[in-house]
Structure 1
C-alpha cells in the first residue's frame, strides 16, 4: 500500500504550487518522485528549487512555452544572470518535447560553459551527470542512452550534423550565446534554416545576451522575440586618466587597492590567457600576504578553458572567512578570460576590473596563417563585463583605459569570427553535409570571396576536393577528424611515411595550450629547461621531445614542475592522442614508427608534416627575407635568418 501513496509528479506539479517541497510531500502522504529517475527528490533539490524560482526567466515560463508551442523558431534575449541557459532547456524537457526518445540540445560557444552548466543543471534536475543530463565537447563525450538534455559546443553539434544531416535525434535545438557569433554558430544558423524546412517537427530557440535581436529576427524570417530582464543593480564605471602601459600590473595594483579600501565583495578580473592569469593569481596572493593583518585573506581563483573541471568549480566557492574573529573579511578574486563575460554567472561579484583586451582569432588569407592576437574588446563586451559587477548588489567597474579610448577606439560589436577565420574546415564540413553551392549558402554575414576561394583552393591542393569541387574519398576521411584539414591530412598520410605514432603525438601537442611555463620570477631557469628539449629542426620536433620525455618519466607531475612543463597541458594532450588513436583504428589507419636510430626518423616526420602544410613553406631570399613559395608573401617576424627553407606555423 505504501507504493500506492507515492505519486509521480513532473517538475511543474512541484513548483507551480505555493507550498514548499516539504509541505508538498506531506500533502500527498509520501515523497515526491523525480520523473527522470523514479526516485524521491533529494533535500538538496528543494533547496536549489527555491533559488531557481527567484530567477527572472522563471516568471516568464508560461509565456516562453506558449511562444515555443506556436512557432518553429523563436528568439530569446536575456541578460546574463536571467537564468536562460539553465532554465530554458529544462522548461523544454519538462514540457514533453523529449518523448519518443528525442533529445534537447543546448549549444555553448565554450567547452568550459558546456561542462559547468551541464553539471549545474544535473544538480537542479536531481540526476547524475552523464545520464539524463550530459555534455559533449571535442575529445570528450559525457552522455549516454538515458540522456534527454545535452549541452554541447557549437562545433560538436556541427560535427554531429555530418553523420546525421537532419539532426533527427533532436526535437528542440537551443543555440545559446548567439551574440558571440562564433564560426560554428554562424554555420549552424545557415544549416538549421535548411534543416527546419525538412523537419517541421523540429524547433529552434536562438538565445542572446545582447540586443542584436532585430538582426536575428530578420535572418530567421521574422521569428517572434521574447525579452527576459536581468537582475542588474546600478554599476558605477571608473576610467583611468591616462592609458596604462602594462595592463597586467595595473590590474594587480587595482585588485590590491580595492581589497584595502573598498567594502566586502568579490572581485572579477578579465585577462587574456592562461599564463597571464596564473601569473596574476600568484602575484595577487603575494601582494596581499605582504600587507599582513591589516587586510583580510584572499583566495585568487583562475578561470580559462583548459582548466580541469574540478578547478573550474572553485570559482563558485565562498570567499575565505576572516583570519581571526572580528578581523577584516576575506575576499574571493576570480581571474578569468572573457568566458566570464556571458557564459558563466558567478554570484558575489561586486567589483570588476576590465583592462579592455581579449585574445581573438585572426586569419591572413594571403599567407594562410591563423593567429590568436591580443586585441581591444568591443563596446558590447565592455558593457557585458561591467554588468558582472551588479548581479547581487550595486557594484563598481574599473576600466583600465580612458573614457576617450572607450568612445573612439572600441568597435560597437565584436567582429563575427567567420569574417576573420580560415574557412577550410567550414568548407570541408559543408561539403561533407552535401552543400555544394557555397556562394549562395545563407551566411548571416557572408565571408569575403577571397577567403572562401582560398579555402576551396587549399582543399583542392590537399586532394580533399577534386578539380570540380567534389569531396574525394581522402576528403571524407579527413573530415572524420576534429582537426583543421591540413592537420588531418598530415595525420591521415603519416602511415605512408611510417611515422603515424610520432605525428599523433605532435598533433596532440599542437591541439592543447602551450606546454611551456615561463613564470616572471623564473624566466631564466624556464628558458634553460626549454632548451633541453629543443630540437635543431624546429618547434614541432621540440614538442615531440617533450611528449616522449613526459611519457618516459611516467607522466609525473613533479617532473613537469621541475622542468617548467604545464602538467595540465600534457594530460590534455594525452587524452587528445587517445581519442585520435580511436579514430585511426576505426578507419584501419596503421600505427607505426620508423626506428629512432634510423637516419630517416626525422626525415619521415618532416615529409608527413609537409604533406599537410606544404603551402606554408618559405624560402630565404638573397635579400634576407623569407618568401612563401606558393604566394610570394614576405614573412620576417620572429623568424631565424640563416635557415634556407622553413615551414611557417603561426
Structure 2
C-alpha cells in the first residue's frame, strides 16, 4: 500500500544498518507481507463499470487506459459533454489503479465534488462513502473502503502540509485544470516535483480544449488525448443592453428600442427577463440556464423572473452553498420546465441536464490584486471568449440549442481570448507563507506554469515581513509558522496569533470566522430601510467587532432554541443569509479545532452559555483588548476605519472591520 511507504522505508533502513539482526529483518518482512496482502485484498474488491457507448470518451477509452499504464502523466482535453469528468476515474480502475492507494479526483468547487461523486457512485452501483466518497470543506464522506475520492483542490493542498508524499494516493486526477486557479497552479507545480521522487504515482490532467500544449510541456511533453464533445448545433443570438439587438424579430426590436429610448440602456435583470420572455414565446417547454455573477444577483433575478409567472415553470438557483436537497432539484429534473440561475460553477464543472437555452450576460466576479491598495478585490468583469464559448456549450446537449448573449457581437470579438490565470492577478502573501511552511523554497524558483507578477511577489514578501511572519532573511518566524497552520487570510491569521497572546482568543475566533466569509447581512435594494433597522439591533457604537460578537450571540441563541425551519425564518426576518450564517458557524468550528491543535485555549470564556455570546468581561476592557489584538494584523495598507461614516445619508460611528466592495471582509483596525 502506498500509505505504508514511509513505515516500510524506516524498517528497511533499520535493517540495512544491521543486516545480521534477525529481529529487524523479520519486522520489515512482516510489515511488507501485510501491506502486500492488504493491497491484494483491496484489488479483489475494486468496483468496475463500463463507459457508456454513447459518450464520446468511449471511443478513446482503451487508448487512455494504455497511456495511464505507460506514462506517469496523461493530459486529456475534452469538450463539454465528452464524459471526461465521470468516466476517467473508471478508466483508472481499468488501468489497475486504486489497489495500492486512493484514486484522488480534484474539482475546483465543492458543489461539483459532491455532485460528481454521487454520479460516479450511482454508475458503479456502490453506496456513497463506500467505494466512492468525497471530502469538501466541513464535510468528510470517505471511508476505509473508499477507492475513488472526490475533493476540492484546496483539500488536497491541505493534505500536503501533513503528508508531503501524498502517500494515500496511487493516482491523482486534476480536473478542470484550464481554470488555472491559484490552487490548481500550485498543485501542478508541486506534482511536477513530487513525480521525481514518486515513480509509482500516476497523474491525469483534464481540461477543456484550451491551451493543452502548455500542460503537456510542463510535464515533460506528456501525451495528450483529445475527446470531442457530444451535442447538437448551437445558434447564438446577441441581445445587447443598449437596446440595439441583432437578428431580433421586428416587433421585439421595436419594443426594445422603446425601452432604450425611455430608460437608456437596460439593466442586466431587464435583459434577462426579456430574453426569457422571447424564449417562452417561441418554446414554452425548453429548460433555460442563466449565468449570473453571484448569489445576490441570483436572488434579484429570481425575484424578477418569479413575477413573470411563466406557466408550468419553476425558477431554481444553483450555487455552492445550496443544500444538497436544493441542488438535487437542479440535477434531477421533474416534469416542469425549469429556468436555472447559476454562477459560473455551471460553466465547466457541472452539467445541468436538459438545457436547451443559455442566457449569458457575459459577466463574472474576478479576483484581482491591486498593487496600489495591496489587497485582493472582487470585480464584476466581462468574461473571456473562452468562457463565453464554454457557457454556450452548456446547451445543445439534448437537441439544437440557442445561446442568448446580452452583449453585442463586436463586444464578444473584442474580448480577451482566455481568462488570465489567478497566479497573475492575485495577492501572493498566503502562497509564499504556505510554500515556506512546506519547505518548497522561494516562490521565485517554484515551477509554476507561468511565473507570477514580480510586483505581487515583492508585495507578498513585504506584507509577511510587516506581519512578523518572516525575518530579514525571509525565513519563517515562530509567528509565521503558527500563521501557516490557520486556514484563513494571512492578516486574519496574525490577528488570531495576537488574540491568543492577549487572552481574547474566544472573541477573535468569532470575528475572524466572520471576516473569512462573505458578509451574511443582506440589504435588498427594495428593503434597505427594513434591513438597516434589523441590523441595528446588533450594532455597537464602540466597535464593529463588538457588533459582530452581538450578532454571533443572537444567532447562537436562536440556533440552540429553534428548529431548522424556524432558524431560517429568524434569519430572513433579520435580513441574514441563512447559508452564510451556517458557513460562519462552520468556519468558527474549524478555526476552534485548529486552535486546540496548536495548544491554544479559550477556556477563560467558557461558562454556562458554552460557545454563545461574548465573554463575561467589562465591555470597555473587552473592546480595548480586541483593538490591541487586531492591530498586528494590520499592514501599512490596511483600511483605517473612520470614527464616523455616512450610511444612506445618516451619520453612523463606524469603527472596526470594514467590508470590501465585493461583500467579503477587508481588514480595518479600530482607532
Partner of 1:264: 285
Q: 1:258 to 1:625 in 2, by over 3 A?
A: same
Distance 1:74 1:430 in 2: 26
Give the deviation of 1:646 after TM superposition: 7.1
Q: 1:644 to 1:257 in 2, by over 3 A?
A: closer
Give the counterpart of 1:566 among 547, 566, 577: 577
Partner of 2:58: 58
Give the deviation of 1:382 after TM superposition: 0.4
Distance 2:293 2:45 in 1: 45
Partner of 1:578: 589
Partner of 1:159: 158
Is 1:314 aligned to 2:329, yes or no? yes
Partner of 1:430: 435
Pairwise mapping of residues 191-230 of structure 1 onto structure 2 (< 5 A)? Answer: 191-230=190-229
Task: Decide whether the 8 Å contact of 1:285 with 1:298 is kept in 2.
Answer: no
Give the deviation of 1:113 after TM superposition: 0.8
Partner of 2:138: 139
Partner of 1:457: 462
Give the counterpart of 1:348 among 324, 334, 354: 354
Is 1:249 aligned to 2:249, yes or no? no
Give the deviation of 1:537 after TM superposition: 4.8
Partner of 1:124: 123
Q: 1:414 to 1:365 in 2, by over 3 A?
A: same
Is 1:368 aligned to 2:374, yes or no? yes
Deviations 1:528-584 (A, max 9, x none): 212222233555443332221111223522221211111111122112211221111
Deviations 1:21-42 (A, max 9, x none): xxxxxxxxxxxxx999979x9x
Give the deviation of 1:75 after TM superposition: 0.8
TM-score w.r.t. length of structure 1: 0.84
Give the counterpart of 2:342 among 314, 336, 343: 336
5+ long unaligned stretches in structure 2: 1-40, 243-264, 561-566, 606-614, 661-671
Q: 1:640 to 1:457 in 2, by over 3 A?
A: farther
Task: Decide whether the 8 Å contact of 1:617 with 1:648 is kept in 2.
Answer: no
Q: 1:87 to 1:363 in 2, by over 3 A?
A: same
Give the deviation of 1:142 after TM superposition: 2.2
Give the deviation of 1:96 after TM superposition: 2.1
Q: 1:174 to 1:543 in 2, by over 3 A?
A: same
Is 1:471 aligned to 2:476, yes or no? yes
Give the deviation of 1:353 after TM superposition: 0.1
Partner of 1:557: 568
Task: Decide whether the 8 Å contact of 1:77 with 1:227 is kept in 2.
Answer: yes
Distance 1:93 1:170 in 2: 13
Partner of 1:232: 231
Q: 1:518 to 1:51 in 2, by over 3 A?
A: farther
Q: 1:547 to 1:625 in 2, by over 3 A?
A: closer
Does the residue aligned with 1:96 lie in a helix, a strand or coil?
coil
Q: 1:620 to 1:558 in 2, by over 3 A?
A: closer
Deviations 1:229-256 (A, max 9, x none): 1102110100125535411221123223
Give the counterpart of 2:541 among 536, 540, 561: 536
Task: Decide whether the 8 Å contact of 2:360 with 2:405 is kept in 1.
Answer: yes
Is 1:274 aligned to 2:295, yes or no? yes
Q: 1:174 to 1:510 in 2, by over 3 A?
A: same
5+ long unaligned stretches in structure 1: 1-33, 290-295, 321-329, 627-635
TM-score w.r.t. length of structure 2: 0.81
Distance 1:270 1:486 in 2: 33
Partner of 2:563: none
Task: Decide whether the 8 Å contact of 2:541 with 2:653 is kept in 1.
Answer: no
Give the counterpart of 2:320 among 278, 282, 305: 305
Task: Decide whether the 8 Å contact of 1:76 with 1:206 is kept in 2.
Answer: yes
Q: 1:573 to 1:237 in 2, by over 3 A?
A: same
Partner of 1:505: 510
Is 1:381 aligned to 2:387, yes or no? yes
Give the deviation of 1:526 after TM superposition: 1.7
Is 1:285 aligned to 2:306, yes or no? yes
Distance 1:513 1:606 in 2: 22
Partner of 1:86: 86
Deviations 1:335-384 (A, max 9, x none): 00011010001121000000000011111133222121111100000000
Is 1:608 aligned to 2:629, yes or no? yes
Q: 1:649 to 1:620 in 2, by over 3 A?
A: closer
Give the deviation of 1:473 after TM superposition: 2.9
Is 1:447 aligned to 2:452, yes or no? yes
Q: 1:577 to 1:365 in 2, by over 3 A?
A: same
Task: Decide whether the 8 Å contact of 2:466 with 2:635 is kept in 1.
Answer: no
Deviations 1:91-124 (A, max 9, x none): 2134321223x11111111111111111221222
Between 483-492 and 370-379, the greater mean CA deviation after superposition: 483-492
Task: Decide whether the 8 Å contact of 1:235 with 1:396 is kept in 2.
Answer: yes
Between 268-277 and 532-541, the greater mean CA deviation after superposition: 532-541
Distance 1:311 1:396 in 2: 26
Distance 1:191 1:111 in 2: 22
Does the residue aligned with 2:200 lie in a helix, a strand or coil?
coil
Does the residue aligned with 2:359 lie in a helix, a strand or coil?
strand
Distance 1:52 1:392 in 2: 16
Partner of 1:12: none
Is 1:95 aligned to 2:95, yes or no? yes
Task: Decide whether the 8 Å contact of 1:238 with 1:396 is kept in 2.
Answer: yes
Is 1:168 aligned to 2:136, yes or no? no
Does the residue aligned with 1:599 lie in a helix, a strand or coil?
helix
Does the residue aligned with 2:149 lie in a helix, a strand or coil?
strand
Give the counterpart of 2:401 among 395, 398, 408: 395
Task: Decide whether the 8 Å contact of 2:641 with 2:657 is kept in 1.
Answer: no
Q: 1:65 to 1:299 in 2, by over 3 A?
A: same
Q: How many residues align structurally?
A: 582
Q: 1:52 to 1:516 in 2, by over 3 A?
A: farther
Distance 1:506 1:229 in 2: 49
